[in-house]
């Protein structure tokens, strides 16, 4: 069953076609089984795209995202090198099913992190932070899923963009850091870093504990997106999307056909 679900999710992304969520057919899916499926799916993508793991992403770490998706627990997923887009490249909508874009903070690590870890330990292991944008694209029909479905689908991971300017974490006040998310110059959402479980490093500490339970860890050089600070937004060709943060600058991308 795990292999079948992983294969269907892999095919859905490759063929740009939605599938029905699997809990309709397999209501007994647990989060542990869902993370096993996620691992199988990521292995398939690594082989097909001749790529490797670049890091991790958290999902559903803010109330705004939990409300939007009707899922009230955080999740994590794997980021691959093939998912990274440079800030200077226009982003084509062609490879996606029903993409959305959301504001994120990227953490890049210097040291391995294994659980249990505290917020100060996460920050001490961080080489730098930078503004980021994530493109999520659920493989499920109408972007509709339960917790276990979304975990199996690698937490809707699709692409990510990280700002070139980087910042030492000790120079940043995450508890008061404001965020402004804009489309074509208009503000679509405002938030603060504290919307992510009180502190984005707390979300990362949560994930490290989960990873450790599965025999995994954050490795030196890996990137982590700590989870969207506001709801995600649909895009159209021609849109300019930007995110700005207090203290760590801003990042802007252009969407194209």
**Strands lying side by side in the sheet with 240-245:** 91-92, 249-256, 240-245, 178-183, 186-192
Residue from 13, 36, 134, 153 in contact with Mg ion (CB under 5 A):
134
Give least dist CB 1 to Mg ion, A: 27
In the beta sheet, which residues pair with residue 120?
none
We find the least distance from the C-beta atom of residue 27 to Mg ion, in angstroms, to be 26
Considering the complex, state which of residue 3 and residue 24 has its C-beta at the smaller distance from ligand OOG.
24
Rounded CA separation 165/130 (Å): 7
Burial 52-73 (b: 16+ CB within 10 A, else e): eebbbbbbbbbebbbebbebee
CA separation for the pair 46, 164 (Å, rounded): 25
Rama region for 61: left / alpha / beta (φ>0; ψ in -120 to 50; rest): alpha
Site string for ligand OOG, 106-145 (x = CB under 6 A): ----------------------------x-x-x-------
Assess 155 for contact with ligand OOG (CB under 6 A). yes
Subset of residues 49 to 78 that bind ligand OOG, contact rule: CB under 6 A: 57, 59-60, 65, 69
Q: Pick between residue 120 and residue 232 the one whose CB is nearest to ligand OOG.
A: 232
Give the closest residue to 160 by CA, choosing from 138, 136, 179.
136
Distance CA 202, CA 23 (A): 29
SS3 of the chain: helix, strand, coil, percent, to 5: 35, 30, 35
Question: Which of 124/244 has CB closer to ligand OOG?
Answer: 244
For ligand OOG, give the closer residue by CB, 139 or 183.
139
Partner in contact with 159, chosen from ligand OOG, Mg ion, none, beta carbon below 5 to 8 Å by kind: none
From residue 73 to residue 92, the character string flagging contacts with Mg ion as x (rule: CB under 5 A) and all else as - is --------------------
Q: Does 228 bind Mg ion (CB under 5 A)?
A: yes
Residue 227 makes contact with ligand OOG by CB under 6 A: yes
The residues that bridge with 182 in the sheet, in sequence order, are 187, 242
What does the binding site for Mg ion look like in residue numbers (CB under 5 A)? 134, 228
What does the binding site for ligand OOG look like in residue numbers (CB under 6 A)? 57, 59-60, 65, 69, 102, 134, 136, 138, 150, 155-156, 227-228
């Amino acid at each position: 069953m795990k292999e079948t679900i992983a294969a269907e999710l892999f095919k859905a992304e490759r063929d740009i076609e939605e599938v029905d969520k699997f809990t309709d057919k397999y209501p007994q899916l647990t989060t542990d089984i869902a993370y096993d499926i996620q691992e199988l799916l990521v292995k398939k993508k690594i082989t097909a795209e001749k790529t490797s793991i670049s890091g991790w992403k958290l999902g559903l770490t803010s109330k705004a995202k939990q409300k939007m998706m009707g899922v009230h627990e955080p999740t994590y997923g794997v980021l691959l090198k093939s998912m990274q887009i440079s800030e200077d490249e226009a982003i084509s909508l062609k490879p996606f099913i029903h993409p959305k874009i959301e504001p994120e903070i990227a953490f890049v690590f210097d040291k391995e992190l294994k659980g249990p870890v505290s917020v100060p330990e996460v920050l001490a292991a961080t080489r730098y932070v930078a503004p980021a944008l994530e493109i999520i694209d659920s493989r499920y029909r109408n972007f509709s899923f339960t917790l276990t479905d979304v975990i199996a689908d690698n937490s809707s991971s699709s692409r990510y963009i990280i700002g070139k300017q980087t910042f030492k974490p000790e120079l940043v006040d995450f508890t008061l850091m404001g965020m402004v998310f804009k489309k074509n110059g208009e503000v679509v959402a405002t938030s603060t870093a504290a919307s992510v479980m009180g502190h984005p490093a707390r979300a990362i500490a949560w994930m490290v504990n989960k990873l450790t339970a599965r025999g995994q860890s954050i490795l030196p050089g890996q990137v982590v997106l700590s989870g969207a600070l506001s709801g995600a937004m649909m895009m159209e060709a021609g849109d300019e999307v930007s995110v700005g943060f207090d203290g760590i600058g801003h990042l802007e991308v252009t969407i194209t056909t």
